[in-house]
Each structure stands twice: as structure tokens, then as C-alpha cells.
Amino acid sequence: MGEKEEALELETRRKIFAYVSKYPGSHMRKIKRELDLAMGEIEYHLNYLEEHGLFASQMSGNKKRYYVANEVQYPDRKILGILRQKMPRKIILLVMKNEIISFGDILKELDISKSTLSFHLKKLIKSSYLEVRRKGRQKFYSVKDQKRVVQILITYKSSFVDEAVERFIDTWGELKP
């Protein structure tokens, strides 16, 4: 699956999560209608959200109603601060997609400098959501708690400030003499 498709999937899941948070007990057809999604698509995403512990469901008559699962923990500020930025988000999605990936392979996939990648990887490792293993001279990265990262990416609410900050970092962060 391409990067664009993955980002779109994440966005759709975020929309579904936000809708069910606002209207708990919604059933599949209602969510489909309100969010204008195809039946197969909504079914796939609802199953995914249930499997990843974000939603709980209950049968009521012949309808399956969805709720935000009790065990969903909203993310702490520290990790949110990191994952709100586009580049760390891209990195963690790439690592999740590959399960384990080397520094060189991440560099190939993302159009950034070595130093920028090292900077973001260090932050992600420090936040304990990414782990690194050495094999010879190469470093390999993997996501420590994939379920938790999926929860964070889906449950956080982005705001106007987040978008402004992201663009500010994009504009000024990559500038070099």
C-alpha cells in the first residue's frame, strides 16, 4: 500500500473515531451514511478499529452498535507533541508498515537529510515508542507497541495550531545555508 493510501486510511479511521466518540451507539449504516463511505470500506475500518481495541460493539436487535472502548487511553502530551509533526508521523507509519527497517531504507523512502532523520529517530526512541537494534554496522528500527501507536494516531484531535506549527516546522526546519 502506498504512502498516500495509508494516510487516507488513517484519515478515514480518524473520522470514524471522531464520529463514534460524538455519537456513541451509532450503527454501521448510520456511520456509512453520515460519513459518505462505501459499505465494504466502513466494514473494513470498523473491524480494524475493533481489533485494535479502539471500539467495542454490542448487538441491539439486528444492529451492531459501536462505542469507544473503555480501555482507550488518550495519549500523553509528550508523545502527542512528537506525533503531531508530519515527519515523525511519516517515519513511524513507515516503520509500522515494514515492521523492521534499516536507517538506510528509511532514508531512501523519505526525502530528508541524514541529520534530520537521526534527529527524529532519536526523539522517537526517547519517547519509548520506537526501538533500535544493531546488526553489524547497520541499525534497524521497529515500533515497540504498535497497538498503542495506532490508538494515538487515530484518537488525537488536530487543531488549527497543529497545522500552523506543522507548516512552520516544514518552512523553517528544513532551511539550510
Partner 1 sequence: MTMMYPFVAVCLAGFAMIQAIVGFVSYRRTGRNKMLLVSLAFCIFSIKGVYALISLYTTFQPLGVPTLPMLVLDLSIVALLYLSILKE
**Nearest approach, Cβ of 14 to partner 1 (angstroms)?**
19
The C-alpha cell 471500539 sits at: 55
3-state secondary structure 119-174: HHHHHHHHCCCEEEEEECCEEEEEECCHHHHHHHHHHCCCCHHHHHHHHHHHHHHC
**Nearest approach, Cβ of 157 to partner 1 (angstroms)?**
16
Query: In the stretch 148-177, what mask flags binding to partner 1 with x, by CB under 8 A?
Result: -------------x--xx-xxx-xxx----
Q: Which CB sits closer to partner 1, 59 or 175? A: 175
Query: In the stretch 74-93, what mask flags binding to partner 1 with x, by CB under 8 A?
Result: -------xx-xx--------
Q: Are 24 and 33 in contact (CB under 8 A)?
A: no
The C-alpha cell 507548516 sits at: 167
Q: Which CB sits closer to partner 1, 56 or 117? A: 117
Q: Which CB sits closer to partner 1, 86 or 139? A: 86
Select from 74, 111, 72 the least CA-distant residue to 90: 111
Q: Which of residues 122-151 bind partner 1 (CB under 8 A)?
A: 123
**Nearest approach, Cβ of 141 to partner 1 (angstroms)?**
19
**37 is a site residue for partner 1 (CB under 8 A):** no
Cα distances from 83 to residues 20, 28, 43, 64, 93, in angstroms, run: 22, 29, 27, 32, 10
Query: CA 80 to CA 101: how far, in whole Å?
Result: 23
Name the residues that contact partner 1, by CB under 8 A: 81-82, 84-85, 119, 123, 161, 164-165, 167-169, 171-173
